[in-house]
Structure 1
Amino acid sequence: MASASRTSLQHRVWRWHFFAGLMVIPFAVILAVTGAIYLFEPQFGAAVEARINARAAPLAGETLPADDLVAAALAAHPDASLAKLVLPSDPADPTTEIDLRTEAGLRTLWIDRTTGAVLHETATPDRFMNFIKRIHGTLLGGDRGSLVVEIMASWMIILILTGIYLWWPRDRPWWRVFAPAFGQGPGKRETWRKIHGMGGAWIGGLVLAILFFGLPWTQVWGDGFNKAKALAGLKAPGQEWFVTLESGNPLADHSMHDMHAGMDHGTGAQLWDQGTGAAEVEVQSASGAGGALSPLSLESVLRLAAPERYAPPVEVQPPRGENGVWTIRSMTASRPDRVTVHHDRWTGAEILRIEFTDHNPVDRFMALGVAFHEGALFGWLNQLVGVIAALGVILLSVTGGLMWWRRRPKGRLGTPPMPADKRLAVGVMALIIALGLFLPMAGLTLVIALAVDLLISAGNRLWPKSS
Structure 2
Amino acid sequence: MSQPTPSFYDLAWRWHFYAGLFVAPFMILLALTGIIYLFKPQLDPLLYDHLINVSPGHHRLSADDQLQRVQATYPQGHISQYLPPINPERSAQFVLSNAGRQLNVFINPYSGEVLGEQDAKLNLQAVARALHGELMIGTLGDRLVELAAGWGVVLVVSGLYLWWPRGQSAAGILWPRLSRRGRVLWRDLHAVTGFWGAALLLFMLISGMTWTGFWGKQYADLWNQFPAAMWNNVPQSDVEARTLNSAARQTVPWAMENTPMPVSGEHAEHMAHGAHTSGPAAPGITLQQVVDTASTRKVEPGYSITLLTTAQGVFTIAVFADDPRNDATLHVDQYTGEVLADVRWQHYSNVARATEMGVMLHEGKLFGSLNQIAILLICLMILLSSISGLVIWWKRRPKGGLGVPPLRHDLPTWKTGVVIILALAVAFPLVGASLIGVWLLDRLLLLVRSKPQHERAS
Q: Which amino acid aligns with 1:158?
A: V
% of aligned pairs identical? 28
Q: Number of aligned pairs? A: 437
1:216 aligns with 2:206: no
**Residues 60-97 of structure 1: per-residue CA shift (max 9 Å, x gap):** 4323221121122122333433311111111243x210
**How far, CA to CA, are the matches of 1:338 and 1:32 in structure 2?**
27
Question: Which of 404, 415, 421 is 2:393 aligned to?
Answer: 404
**How far, CA to CA, are the matches of 1:180 and 1:421 in structure 2?**
35
1:414 aligns with 2:403: yes
**8 Å CA contact retained: 2:26, 2:148:** yes
**8 Å CA contact retained: 1:216, 1:274:** no
**8 Å CA contact retained: 1:242, 1:265:** no
How many Å apart are 1:322 and its aligned residue? 2.0
**8 Å CA contact retained: 1:28, 1:393:** yes
**How far, CA to CA, are the matches of 1:122 and 1:42 in structure 2?**
17
**8 Å CA contact retained: 1:318, 1:325:** yes
Q: Give the aligned partner of residue 35 of structure 1.
A: 34
**How far, CA to CA, are the matches of 2:229 and 2:100 in structure 1?**
35
RMSD over aligned Cα atoms: 3.3
Question: Which of 164, 167, 170 is 2:166 aligned to?
Answer: 170
**How far, CA to CA, are the matches of 1:300 and 1:339 in structure 2?**
17
How many Å apart are 1:344 and its aligned residue? 3.1
Q: Give the aligned partner of residue 332 of structure 2.
A: 343
Q: Give the aligned partner of residue 382 of structure 1.
A: 371
**How far, CA to CA, are the matches of 2:108 and 2:252 in structure 1?**
31
1:108 aligns with 2:104: yes
Q: Counterparts of 1:159-308 in structure 2 under 5 Å?
A: 159-172=155-168, 177-179=173-175, 188-229=182-223, 235-236=225-226, 240-242=229-231, 244-245=233-234, 263-264=238-239, 266=241, 270-272=252-254, 281=261, 283-284=263-264, 285-286=267-268, 295-308=284-297
TM-score by length of 2: 0.85
Q: 1:397 to 1:446 in 2, by over 3 A?
A: same
1:78 aligns to what SS in structure 2?
coil
**How far, CA to CA, are the matches of 2:445 and 2:6 in structure 1?**
27
TM-score by length of 1: 0.83
Q: Which amino acid aligns with 2:263?
A: V
Q: Give the aligned partner of residue 67 of structure 1.
A: 64
How many Å apart are 1:381 and its aligned residue? 1.2
Q: Give the aligned partner of residue 248 of structure 2.
A: none
Q: Which amino acid aligns with 1:66?
A: A
Question: Which of 83, 86, 89 is 1:89 aligned to?
Answer: 86
**Residues 178-237 of structure 1: per-residue CA shift (max 9 Å, x gap):** 2356658xx6322222221111122111111111100111122112213433xxxx5136
**8 Å CA contact retained: 2:252, 2:319:** no
Q: Which amino acid aligns with 2:158?
A: T
1:245 aligns to what SS in structure 2?
coil
Q: Counterparts of 1:317-396 in structure 2 under 5 Å?
A: 317-396=306-385
**8 Å CA contact retained: 2:81, 2:305:** yes
1:286 aligns to what SS in structure 2?
helix
Q: 1:294 to 1:281 in 2, by over 3 A?
A: closer
**How far, CA to CA, are the matches of 2:167 and 2:262 in structure 1?**
62
**8 Å CA contact retained: 1:112, 1:119:** yes
Q: 1:320 to 1:206 in 2, by over 3 A?
A: same
Q: Which moved more, 1:335-344 or 1:155-164?
A: 335-344
Q: Which amino acid aligns with 1:412?
A: G
**8 Å CA contact retained: 1:342, 1:350:** yes
**How far, CA to CA, are the matches of 1:313 and 1:449 in structure 2?**
46
Q: 1:112 to 1:429 in 2, by over 3 A?
A: same
How many Å apart are 1:11 and its aligned residue? 1.3
1:149 aligns with 2:133: no
**8 Å CA contact retained: 1:217, 1:273:** no
**Residues 113-137 of structure 1: per-residue CA shift (max 9 Å, x gap):** 2343321112311221011111111
Q: Which runs of 5+ in 1 are unaligned?
A: 247-258
How many Å apart are 1:307 and its aligned residue? 3.7
**How far, CA to CA, are the matches of 2:283 and 2:218 in structure 1?**
43
Q: 1:24 to 1:307 in 2, by over 3 A?
A: same
**How far, CA to CA, are the matches of 1:179 and 1:190 in structure 2?**
13
1:263 aligns to what SS in structure 2?
strand
**8 Å CA contact retained: 2:11, 2:407:** yes
**8 Å CA contact retained: 2:50, 2:115:** no
**Residues 446-466 of structure 1: per-residue CA shift (max 9 Å, x gap):** 222233334445656598566
**Residues 246-283 of structure 1: per-residue CA shift (max 9 Å, x gap):** 5xxxxxxxxxxxx8xx63254979532899x9x99463
Q: 1:97 to 1:209 in 2, by over 3 A?
A: same
**8 Å CA contact retained: 1:266, 1:282:** no
